[in-house]
Amino acid sequence: MIEFHLDPRSGVATYLQIVQQVKEALRLGTIDVGDQLPTVREVVADLAVNPNTVAKAYRDLEREGLVVARQGRGTFVASTLAPASLRHHDALRAGLERWLAAAEAAGLDEESVRALISSTLRETLARRVA
């Protein structure tokens, strides 16, 4: 079962953090069709968050067709975001690890690595849009 965590400093609304964590788990295949999400009361008891926020996150996921609420039973994963490409993840991850080793050898620290990755991603996406 998925466990949520919260970063209040992130500037991302709590309900969005929950939505994003479910989607990420779906993308990575850590939860799959038929799996149950924790109930609203369980998340409230666990994280001390507002139940309306959890309900809103689940409603959003339901609207996107990713989960389905079954009356009195809970919320279940209805479809997956794990792309057909999930089988390529291992190979891509290995490539990324080699790249990270090269970056470390070149003297980049964690922050420089993050900065380089996010700026490259940003620029590549911008080129594609243009």
Q: Which two tokens stand for residue 76?
A: 């279940």
14 scored as a contact of another protein (CB under 8 A): yes
Closest CB 15 distance from another protein, rounded Å: 7
Q: Which of 1, 48, 84, 91 binds another protein (CB under 8 A)?
A: 48
User: Which residues in the 50-79 window bind another protein by CB under 8 A?
Assistant: 50-53
Q: Which of 22, 31, 37, 40 binds another protein (CB under 8 A)?
A: 40
* SS3 state at 82: coil
87 scored as a contact of another protein (CB under 8 A): no
The DSSP 8-state label assigned to residue 34 in this structure reads: T
* Stretch of residues binding another protein (CB under 8 A), selected from 23-31, 45-53, 60-68, 94-102: 45-53
Phi, psi of 129, deg, nearest 5: -65, -40
Q: Which two tokens stand for residue 35?
A: 């799996």
Nearest CA to 46 out of 9, 75, 3, 77 is that of 3
Conformation bin of residue 11: beta by default, left when phi > 0, alpha when psi is -120 to 50: left
Binding site for another protein (CB under 8 A): 6, 8-16, 40-41, 44-45, 47-53
